Structure 1
């Protein structure tokens, strides 16, 4: 059975992600150009700190899902789970790198307009765009969704939870702001429901 800290991250990680999303979309995007730079930088920094905390919190989430899938499973399932876990953790590393770069850009820039040139300078380094801003970061959520679906196929996770996480992943993947917002809220609900299930008797090994 996952420990309480591991289960708590199922709730904390998506909530932190939602907090970062809210700060960036509700404060930074509409107001950053009108704010004095110190206040704008504080908003930028707060949003990225929430994001960074979220992605770090997703590490135990991914490991919890891996353990959930592999317990009492055959060799093939364990290999598949290890591969999905590695892919998802690689995505987390990509997003952590992105947040570190973005925070560095914020502190190096003396004003809002300077951020674009600084960002272009970082992305000019070989591999930076792909590793930190392209395909690699998106792998974290794809891995989580597939791990949850695998757990549902093994009857370790309820079908409603698996469908909620799958739909949330698809909505976030659209890159449409309202749909991504709905998807992030759905991820909070889906992983929160999973946390409740893991704390209850549903996690107890079934006879046989």
Structure 2
């Protein structure tokens, strides 16, 4: 039960970033090469978010189907034996979520200081490192991400209008 609850919360958290990437892109309002860099970074982050969401979905399905931990291990092995699944869903592409987010806030801090404070990228980096160190630190990392992105909330609200 806790496995499923934790994965549902994690999935909800990742899905909450789906509007953040294009929202920051639009709110940045930069053109030319800068706009291309911001847009590409937002798309990279979205690709990573999609991979993380698929990973969480697989984890949920395995958790619902498996009777015990041994059965979960067997199901995970079968999923991961499918060619391409490991890099696309578990190793390479999911990292793009974190790298894309860090790169995006860094670009915005450089291009739009009025939109993104300079302390945002270091706080996003701290959050990313905390969550990479231990899954037990996911709530602390999530809090850091929330604090890091709090100043741009108004900008995102204005970009949707």
TM-score bucket (shorter structure):
0.7 to 0.9
Is the aligned partner of 1:142 residue 2:99?
yes
CA distance in 2, matches of 1:198, 1:64: 8
Distance across 2 between alignment mates of 1:181 and 1:103? 19
Tell me how large the CA RMSD over aligned residues is.
2.2
| Residue number in structure 1 paired with 2:42 | 85
Residue 121 (structure 2) pairs with residue 152 (structure 1): no
Q: Which residue of 2 aligns with 1:48?
A: 7
Pairing 1:106-125 to 2, within 5 Å after superposition: 106-125=63-82
1:1-208 maps to which residues of 2 (within 5 A)?
42-69=1-28, 71=29, 73-154=30-111, 155=113, 156-173=115-132, 175-177=133-135, 182-195=140-153, 198=155
**Is the 2:109–2:116 Cα contact (8 Å) retained in structure 1?**
yes
Query: What TM-score results when the alignment is normalised by the length of structure 1?
Result: 0.67
Deviation, 1:87, is: 0.8
Offset, 1:179: 5.9
User: Given the superposition, is the C-alpha separation of residues 66 and 199 from structure 1 closer, same or farther in structure 2, using an over 3 Å criterion?
Assistant: closer
How far apart, in 1, do the equivalents of 2:136 and 2:59 lie? 23
When residues 68 and 199 of structure 1 are mapped into structure 2, their CA distance, relative to the original with a 3 A threshold, is closer
How far does residue 153 in structure 1 lie from its aligned partner after superposition? Answer: 0.5
Larger radius of gyration: 1
